[in-house]
Structure 1
């Protein structure tokens, strides 16, 4: 048996629920299930430097979350880590930015606590929901 990743839904960050949990704008009606993976994307529009024509959009993962609960039209997901390829994160904390009430700063610390990084998340940012499924070889 091996695993493959299946695309479930595209949505947006909807609200800040608590210090390390976000609501997203897709839910049961969109096929989202508890345990699905959510990635918050940074989307950069790539333009031709001469004509300024849009060449495409580059998407980069900024934050990874796991779905904890699912309602009909939204889901709640908890922060797993900032960069899914590096791993090793154990402590997460978040603080609301007092100048922008709906913006959340997620601080991700390494296990050794020698380094930390922050990710700002605002409602309306694009997310993709995926699911790992086992398939027979």
Structure 2
């Protein structure tokens, strides 16, 4: 299994996100890898670490989640790998529950969310987002 962290979904992933059941609840597992030093796209000078920049996004995203009926369920620091192998561990993770894919897309397209997103991009080296649905194993 090859693992690649990214900042944005590619076209095939977005197309798949909009296919099928877009109305049922989903939970997103976010595996986060931070940059050593934050890098803003507008080139501004900053002394923030990647984690600190992402933390600004993390505080602001709570309100954006609530606007679409979603919520942060759990977040934490990745401590160690118990089973399996990856080249490098993620730094943190977060679980967010959305009422639907449509609600998540609504949040992502909101202009206020997109302003907060600058801190996410500045702080993240990359991440994995894994969609989870309730159900049997």
- TM-score in terms of structure 1 length: 0.31
Structure with the larger RCO, 1 or 2 (CA within 8 Å, 6+ apart) = 2
Relative to its length, the structure with more strand (as a share) is 1
Considering only CA atoms, is the larger Rg found in Structure 1 or Structure 2? 1
What's the TM-score once normalised by structure 2's chain length? 0.31
Larger helix percent: 2
